[in-house]
Amino acid sequence: MVDTHLGEAEVTMTDQELAARRAGGDERATHRSLARLGAVGALGGAVLLFVSTLLHPLESDPNAPRAAFAEYAADSLWVWSHLGQFVGFAVLGMALVALAGTFEPGRAAAWARIGLAGAVALIAVAAALQAVDGVALKAMVDRWAAATGGVRVLAFEAAFAVRQIEIGLASLLSLVSGLTLSVFGVAIVLSTRYPRWLGGIGLLGGLGTVAAGAAHASTGFSDLAMNLSMLASSVLLIWAILASVLMWRLVPRLAGHSDAALQRLDSESG
């Protein structure tokens, strides 16, 4: 009777171990998929955002509304370039969500989980900004360009009001993006799966983007704000490309080792 119970216990333990191993394998498979999706998304989002920004007219001073509005009204690709910018931001935000799923348990994963809220907010604010800048402002400057007399004066004031809403959303997008990138930078610094220098670049780009957002809020599209924004955006795009490469290189490590071996590799790489 005792032997029978022991045999049943051994079978039960074997089943439990098998289920645990299957669960661990499923989790690793999920992490591998997230790493691949994050790698593709980070690179694709960075390229799309860069190309869409190149299509944006940049000859007129954005802080000189009459000259800027005339340039915007003449641009036939305005709506499409801004929709492209939104898709770029959205794909980068989804890449951050995928990145958050690749950290080892502990402090790094905790910070990454906080960063998830920022990634969702980033996509939402980017959508609001492009709705105002890419759609509403274009309609208003087209109306202003076609109007005459007193109607033209009123149309300019309406377009200028939309412009101020755009500035507010642009400043908030920079602040949200910068804070989110900074949080992920901290997560990477605390992680053993990514090099700390990647986290340092993320912190540098994040803080620079926060500074650009503060400048936008206080000075509009001034030279200071635009220069800070361009510099911080360049760092952000470089960071996204580097993160893409490192996430892709992480996939074989997530695939080829057990949990214990992976933890040991994490410790050794740190």
Q: Are 92 and 41 in contact (CB under 8 A)?
A: yes
Arithmetic mean of pLDDT, 10-33: 56
Average pLDDT, the chain: 86
CA 92 to each of CA 79, 116, 137, 208: distance values in angstroms, whole numbers, following the listed order: 20, 12, 25, 18
| More confidently predicted of 2 and 77 | 77
CA–CA gap between residue 68 and residue 64 (Å, rounded) = 6
Residue (of 53, 45, 59, 111) closest to 82 by Cα position: 53
Arithmetic mean of pLDDT, 61-90: 93
Q: Which two tokens stand for residue 174?
A: 């920079």
pLDDT tens, residue by residue, 151-164: 999 999 999 999 99
Q: Are 119 and 180 in contact (CB under 8 A)?
A: yes
pLDDT at 63: 87
29 confidence band (pLDDT: 50, 70, 90):
confident
pLDDT at 50: 94
pLDDT tens, residue by residue, 100-119: 999 999 999 999 999 999 99
Arithmetic mean of pLDDT, 11-23: 46
Judge whether residue 11 has pLDDT over 70: no
Neighbours of 31 (CB within 10 A): 22
Q: Are 169 and 129 in contact (CB under 8 A)?
A: yes
Q: Are 91 and 45 in contact (CB under 8 A)?
A: yes
Domain ranges, ordered by start, for the chain: 36-249
| Axis-axis angle for helices 2-54, 259-269 (nearest 10) | 50
Q: Where are the alpha helices (DSSP H) in 61-106?
A: 65-74, 78-100
Arithmetic mean of pLDDT, 243-252: 92
pLDDT at 57: 85
Query: Could you report how far apart the first and last alpha carbons of the chain are, in Å?
Result: 52
Let me know how long the chain is.
270
